[in-house]
Amino acid sequence: EEDRVALFQPFQQGESGMRQGGTGLGLTISQRQLGLMGSELEVESRVGEGSCFSFAIELPPAREEVAEEGIEAWSRVTGLAPGRRVRALVADDVAENREILSSMLGGIGVEVEVVENGKEALDRMEESLPDVVFLDIRMPVLDGLETLELVQEDERWRQVKVVAVSASVLDHERAEFLQAGFDDFLDKPFRFEDVCGSLAQHLGVEFVYGEGGEEESVGGMGDWRGISLPEDLVSGLVKAAEFYSVTEIEGYLQEMESLGEGERRLASHLRDLRRQHNMEGIIEILGTINHG
């Protein structure tokens, strides 16, 4: 019983726990995380038999499940449906993040404006009303949550969809963002399929799709075994693809085109993948290329 009282205190362990090692923080952290979610960790123990830890938690309803074929289709999006206009505002203090997301959106025909913080986002909304705003959670001057509160207070902006953007967070933090009033949440690094899915779900956007044939699919590898590329070109292109740096990718592709006919064909194929935001496909193909 004495052990049960101390279990949830930091750096405290029962006799059996000390024999097994550890820091004595696991239950403390779990209890605090549950407290943030409005619950608590309960324990039932029987000496010599063991302990049972449990909790009950209320969660928001899950969003409508998206069929796998829908996700696959979004990876083949090439543009907005004819006659469809979408205006987006991207607020992020990191230039690379702004470039990646605005490139994904602009690549399918979305009209995109970019700003560096929440205050600039509000100023821009005063001038031109977007359909959707992508707000980074952590920004100087005015962060994402503070900006959302001001958007919610203004009747003129009630119809604007607001999407939270942040690096990977815990599930309970994601739930808190949605409960605060964000319409959706996007993880960094961005995935093209998630961006398209968010536009479809919250704005009812319809798209034009590629054929999804061998040449346009992730598996459309082709045979490039006869090509040999400089080591620095391959490594630089892989790094640029990993960071979704479309400007750097284009620079490397132009360098590749100057090397010969086969290299020009490869560069053209990789550029098609870049337009589809298929960075994994680019990296996969480069892994098959001779270089040195």
- The domain that holds 90 is classified in CATH as 3.40.50.2300
**Judgement on whether residues 75 and 204 belong to the same structural domain of the protein:** yes
- Asked which of 149, 181, 209 is the last residue of a domain, the reply is 209
At residue 58, does pLDDT exceed 70? yes
pLDDT, tens only, 241-277: 888 788 889 999 999 999 988 899 899 889 888 877 7
Query: What's the structural domain count of the chain?
Result: 3
Most trustworthy range by pLDDT among 66-70, 93-97, 102-106, 233-237: 233-237
**Judgement on whether residues 30 and 76 belong to the same structural domain of the protein:** no
In the chain, the percentage of residues whose pLDDT exceeds 70 is 79
**Judgement on whether residues 101 and 123 belong to the same structural domain of the protein:** yes
Q: Identify whether 62 is part of a domain.
A: no
pLDDT, tens only, 152-190: 999 999 899 999 999 866 777 788 889 899 999 998 888
Report the sign of the C-alpha dihedral through residues 96, 198, 112, 212, in that order: positive
Report the amino acid identity of residue 147: T
Average pLDDT, the chain: 81
**Judgement on whether residues 92 and 192 belong to the same structural domain of the protein:** yes
**Judgement on whether residues 10 and 78 belong to the same structural domain of the protein:** no
Q: Identify whether 63 is part of a domain.
A: no
Tell me the mean pLDDT in the region 230-248: 88
pLDDT, tens only, 101-122: 998 898 889 999 999 999 999 9
Select from 2, 246, 241 the least CA-distant residue to 102.
246
- Asked which of 26, 54, 82 is the last residue of a domain, the reply is 54
**Judgement on whether residues 45 and 107 belong to the same structural domain of the protein:** no
Give dist(CA 133, CA 275) in Å, integer: 23
What is the structure's pLDDT at 89? 98
Q: Identify whether 73 is part of a domain.
A: yes
Q: What's the CA dihedral at 30, 31, 37, 40 to 10 degrees?
A: 130
Q: Identify whether 89 is part of a domain.
A: yes
Which positions ≥6 away from 289 have C-beta within 8 Å?
A: 224, 227, 228, 229, 234, 266
**Judgement on whether residues 241 and 159 belong to the same structural domain of the protein:** no
**Judgement on whether residues 139 and 256 belong to the same structural domain of the protein:** no
What is the structure's pLDDT at 2? 53
Q: Identify whether 33 is part of a domain.
A: yes
**Judgement on whether residues 109 and 196 belong to the same structural domain of the protein:** yes
What is the structure's pLDDT at 142? 95
Give dist(CA 190, CA 101) in Å, integer: 7
What is the structure's pLDDT at 168? 62
**Judgement on whether residues 80 and 202 belong to the same structural domain of the protein:** yes
- Asked which of 181, 209, 237 is the last residue of a domain, the reply is 209
Q: Cα–chain-centroid distance for residue 58?
A: 25
Q: Identify whether 215 is part of a domain.
A: no
Q: Identify whether 84 is part of a domain.
A: yes
What is the structure's pLDDT at 128? 94
Q: What's the CA dihedral at 101, 144, 127, 93 to 10 degrees?
A: -50
At residue 75, does pLDDT exceed 80? no
Domain that holds residue 24: 2-54
Two structure tokens written together for 283: 């990296």
**Judgement on whether residues 93 and 197 belong to the same structural domain of the protein:** yes
Q: Identify whether 61 is part of a domain.
A: no
Look at 230 and 44; give whichever has higher pLDDT. Answer: 230
pTM score, whole prediction: 0.59
**Judgement on whether residues 114 and 193 belong to the same structural domain of the protein:** yes
Q: Cα–chain-centroid distance for residue 244?
A: 12
